[in-house]
Amino acid sequence: MAKVKKRVVDNWKKKKWYSVEADSVFDNKEICKTVALESKNLIDRNIKKSLEKITNNIKDSGFIITFKIFKVTGGRAETKITDLTSKGANIKRMARRGKSKIENIINVVTKDEQKLKLKVLFISGTKFTTELRRESRNIIKEFFETEVREKTLKETWNNIIYQKFSEKLKKKLVKLGYVNKVLVAKATVI
């Protein structure tokens, strides 16, 4: 008896295109287009983009930002920021011999009760002693706990992405010695 061939349906023709918009920090700018069979399939989908592509600033090329789709209306998918990560090559380029690389991981809570995990990187211009390293870590921790507590999640992302926290913190760390670079190397919503 001959086998009956099953008919294969091409689902690609049934799929629709959706415009994915960035978080309100970036004024809901379109970041990409994606396809899905149904709009509910888009929910919780992650989209990674270079920060440079969104801000059109070459200085932001060392960061990758992750958006998560949380709402789909019509042909538009709305996202929120879940993660900001610095590329490894970006950090390696800054950390050189004769400098101290001080990392600090801090869990903070925003004004609107959102939890963030921050990895702050501080690179000094000269070698720091153990005492200076400890003091700088304490200054960094205290700074972020007080600053983030006063701001909403949107304001916090704005300050992290546009390096406003780094500039303020650099002014506080200068009293310890020469400061080469301060940046939030990784930020994640918990």
Tell me, what's the pLDDT at 7? 78
Specify which residues 115 forms β-bridges with: 109
Specify whether 105 is located in the same domain as 49. Answer: no
140-159 pLDDT, tens digit per residue, is: 999 999 999 999 999 999 99
Tell me, what's the pLDDT at 6? 79
Q: Grade residue 1 by pLDDT with cuts at 50, 70 and 90.
A: low
Tell me, what's the pLDDT at 3? 77
Tell me, what's the pLDDT at 43? 92
Q: Grade residue 11 by pLDDT with cuts at 50, 70 and 90.
A: confident
Average pLDDT over residues 55-67: 91
Show which of 86, 110, 141 is a domain's final residue: 86
Specify whether 104 is located in the same domain as 157. Answer: yes
Residue type, position 138, single letter: N
Specify whether 170 is located in the same domain as 99. Answer: yes
Number of domains in the chain: 2
Residue type, position 103, single letter: E
98-127 pLDDT, tens digit per residue, is: 888 899 999 999 999 999 999 999 998 888
Indicate whether 115 belongs to any domain.
Answer: yes
Q: How far is 113 from 4, CA to CA, in rounded Å?
A: 60
DSSP 1: -
Q: How far is 165 from 163, CA to CA, in rounded Å?
A: 6
User: DSSP states of 159-190 as a string?
Assistant: HHHTTHHHHHHHHHHGGGS-EEEEEEEEEEE-
